A = this chain, B = another copy of it.
């Protein structure tokens, strides 16, 4: 699968009133590039990935990111790395939408 075209993350956001929305921009065995879309108040509960590193990159909005027991207030442009095995989570604590690029390496098994 190749993507010879420009990706504008905001166009791929999948917000849902029920819970955090997920969408996938690119996937290979090595890499998953996805989007996590949070309406105000929505969250992604604390979890960890065995053998996978995750990079968060805030595209729009602001939220609280939990990592290793710390609570970090992040806003558009900020990056956070959750190395494999480290508990992490996200909560949209703002009044607007929160869109986060989430990159996992390697990609999860299906």
Contact = CB atoms under 8 A, between A and B. Distances in A.
A96 interface: no
A30 B52 contact: yes
A21 interface: no
B53 A31 contact: yes
A5 B77 contact: no
Q: For the side of the interface on A, what is the size category?
A: 35 or more
In the assembly, how many copies of this chain are there?
2
B31 A78 contact: no
A80 B7 CA distance: 6
B106 A106 contact: yes
A62 to B, nearest CB: 12
A45 interface: no
A33 B28 CA distance: 17
15 contacts: A1-B83, A2-B83, A3-B81, A4-B68, A7-B79, A7-B81, A8-B78, A8-B79, A25-B79, A26-B53, A28-B84, A30-B105, A31-B53, A55-B103, A57-B101
